[in-house]
Chain A
Amino acid sequence: METATINNNFKSEEYFINMGPQHPATHGVLRLLLTIDGEIIKKVEPDLGYIHRSIEKMCERDSYQQIVHLTDRMDYLSSHINNEAVCLAVENALELEVPERVKVIRTIIDELTRISSHTLWWGVMGMDVGALTSYFYGFRDREMINDIFEETCGARLTMNYNIPGGLMQDIHPNFVKRVKEFIAHFKTKLPEYDKLLTGNIIFQKRTKGVGVLSKEDAIAYGASGPVARGSGYSCDVRKHHPYSALDKVSFNEALHTEGDSYARYLVRIQEMWESVSIIEQLIDNIPEGDFKVATNAVIKLPKGEYYQKVETARGELGVYIISTGGKNPHRMKFRSPGLSNLSLLNHITVGGKIGDLVATMATIDIVVPDIDR
């Protein structure tokens, strides 16, 4: 047929399509309203709130000890780090100094949490671009961390191990041994990750040059975590505002400047190596001492405002407490890394293909309960 006939008979037109809320690539109940022209994306509009539980409203009802338990239902893959954010905010407000032992244990478990989150992300990332093997590799290694958590914290996912003033209980006698076993195991497995995906030419073609985010845009859209660091914006809270035992360890901030999906991928791979290094520096040097300091049964924060930021596996989590002096916060705000990271999705996927959107979504690594709260 001549071109003119084709143009007359086959008109290109824009139409809407729903991706989610039950789509496997949306990692939870997120609905994306796509405006597409053929395979080309014209607009991506996230529809949120499917699992909005109003955690911030519940906080206004609860005591500070109770609030800690709500936070691991936000970003459930960083539950220990979320708990720590609230505990640190409360401890700073009370000017409470926790024992060194608590700080070191918190940091070790933080980094185990980060590895656990990143291995899950790595497995799902492969699956999203069609490589199913990575899923099993990732879950195999994650399982060992979950076992460590189960033994010491009593739970595998929502650990609730932190309390204002310290830890719920002391570490299990097996903790040090099992962490060392895991580290030895994981150091032989991480190179396998590189063999399977990082150096894979098909994988590279799916991710290089896809979903490019400039450093300026990363800052303007409030990006944080590996998403921002893949664009060259140095924003690691662990470096800029160290907390717990992070001032005692040396590690490099993973930074790449390309800003594409592959750069975000490399940042997370490097972060796993850095987390391994942090744990190695601390695991033989857990100080003796108490695992908590006593607080009042009813914690009342002095009148004022408190802000604590921590680096979760997804980026910067901010806890903002406005206290009027009572036993509940007047207002509690969680600045979730996911909401800001998601807000730039439209910006970096417009003009690309639907398949690229899936690959880009995977490297943004959102957890929907963290966004909806």
Chain B
Amino acid sequence: MTNQEIKELITTWFSGPESAHLEFTEEGSQFLNLSIDPEYLHELMSWLKTNNKTSFDYLFCLTGVDWGKELGVVYHLESTSHRHIIVVKVQTSDRENPVFDSVQDIWPTANFHEREVFDLFGIKFKGHPNLKRLFMPEDWEGFPLRKDYEDEVNMVVK
């Protein structure tokens, strides 16, 4: 499917695309980008995976991002049968307790990747069976990849 067809199909899944804050953009990226309200994330992801026309069955990259004010997650999805790619983005301005739905029940690979994002950004994933730090020691304070992280031991000099 072309990006335009994917865009039109996804829009039909939502009765009110505005209420889900569904936004498409192809600007500044080689892929079709889609941002959505975190509340609808899991629903959208299940559809993207199971719908025969999209069948995005390969989650090849899951990235945590600190945008400065907001914390977000970026999902890179590919379909192994249609070979098209989409990028899904969610973000929240709640820096104290950022929570998104886990997608590890849809793509098991998300298990480790979500743990990595939790470890380095402190973003929690609702429904994750084993959400604990992946790389850092369990008693480590703070989340190193956040922009406001204070690097007390001075390991990475700014």
- Residues in A whose Cβ lies below 8 Å from that of B40: none
**A57→B153 CA distance, assembly (Å):** 14
B156 contacts across to A, CB distance below 8 A: 54, 57-58, 61
The 8 A CB mask of B105-126 against A (1 = contact, 0 = none) is 0011101110010001000000
Are B59 and A222 closer than 8 Å at their CB atoms?
yes
Summed over the interface, the residue pairs from A and B with CB atoms below 8 Å come to a total of 90
- Determine whether B47 belongs to the interface, using a CB cutoff of 8 Å to chain A: no
Question: Which secondary structure dominates where chain A touches chain B?
Answer: mixed
**Main DSSP-derived SS at the B contact region:** loop
Q: Nearest CB to that of B27 among chain A residues?
A: A304
Distance between A120 CB and nearest chain B CB, rounded to angstroms = 25
Chain B residue total in the interface (Cβ 8 A): 38
B13 within 8 A of A: no
B83 and A240 contacting across the interface, CB-CB below 8 Å: yes
Among the listed B28, B109, B135, which residue makes an inter-chain contact with A343, where contact means beta carbons less than 8 Å apart?
B109
A219 touches B80 (CB 8 A): yes
State the CA gap A58–B155 with chains docked (Å).
9
Is A260 located at the chain interface by the 8 A CB criterion?
no
Residue of chain A at shortest CB distance from B62: A335
Q: Is B61 an interface residue (CB 8 A)?
A: yes
Q: Convert A211-238 into 0s and 1s, putting 1 for each residue whose CB lies closer than 8 angstroms to a CB of B.
A: 0000001011110100000000101000
Give the complex CA separation of A54 and B156 in angstroms. Answer: 9
Binding site for A on B (CB under 8 A): 27-31, 33, 57-61, 63, 65-66, 74, 76, 80, 83, 87, 107-109, 111-113, 116, 120, 133-137, 144-145, 155-158
Give 14 pairs: A residue, B residue, CB < 8 Å, sorted on A: A49-B134, A54-B145, A219-B80, A220-B108, A220-B109, A222-B109, A233-B80, A305-B29, A307-B30, A307-B61, A316-B60, A318-B60, A320-B74, A342-B112
